[in-house]
Structure 1
Amino acid sequence: MTTKKDPGSTVFFRLTIDGQSLGSFNGCDGLAAQVDIEQREEGGNNGHVWQLPSRVRHSNVRLTRPLTEETTRVMAWISSVATGIKRPTAQIEALRADGSLVARWGLLDVVPVSWTGPTLDPNSPAVATEVLEIAHHGFTS
Structure 2
Amino acid sequence: MPSRQDPGSTIWFSLSIDGQSLGYWNGCEGLSSQVEVEQRQEGGNNGFVWQLPTRITFSNVRLTRPLTPDTTKVAKWISSVQTGIKRPTGTIVARRADGSEVARWGLLEVLPVSWQGPSFDPGGSAVATEVLEIAHHGFTD
Q: Same fold (TM over 0.5)?
A: yes
SS of 1:120's partner is coil
| More off after superposition, 39-48 vs 121-130 | 39-48
Give the equivalent residue in structure 2 for 1:85. Answer: 85
Aligned residue type for 2:139:
F
**Does residue 39 in structure 1 map to residue 57 in structure 2?**
no
Give the equivalent residue in structure 1 for 2:54. Answer: 54
Give the equivalent residue in structure 2 for 1:112. Answer: 112
Q: For residues 111-138 of structure 1, give each alpha carbon's deviation from its aligned partner in whole angstroms, at most 9, with x where no partner exists.
A: 0000001111112110000000000000
SS of 1:42's partner is coil
Q: Percent identity?
A: 71
Moved >6 Å (runs of 4+): none
Aligned residue type for 2:42:
E
Give the equivalent residue in structure 2 for 1:13. Answer: 13
CA distance in structure 2 between the partners assigned to 1:124 and 1:44 by the alignment: 68
**Does residue 67 in structure 1 map to residue 64 in structure 2?**
no
CA distance in structure 1 between the partners assigned to 2:85 and 2:130 by the alignment: 23
How far off its partner does 1:2 sit?
2.2
Aligned length: 141
Q: Where does structure 2 lack aligned partners over 5 or more consecutive residues?
A: none
CA distance in structure 1 between the partners assigned to 2:35 and 2:21 by the alignment: 31
Q: For residues 83-130 of structure 1, give each alpha carbon's deviation from its aligned partner in whole angstroms, at most 9, with x where no partner exists.
A: 000000000000111110000000000000000011111121100000
Aligned residue type for 1:82:
Q
Q: TM-score, normalised by structure 1?
A: 0.98
CA RMSD of aligned residues (A): 0.7
| More off after superposition, 120-129 vs 106-115 | 120-129
Q: TM-score, normalised by structure 2?
A: 0.98
CA distance in structure 1 between the partners assigned to 2:55 and 2:118 by the alignment: 36
CA distance in structure 2 between the partners assigned to 1:7 and 1:71 by the alignment: 29
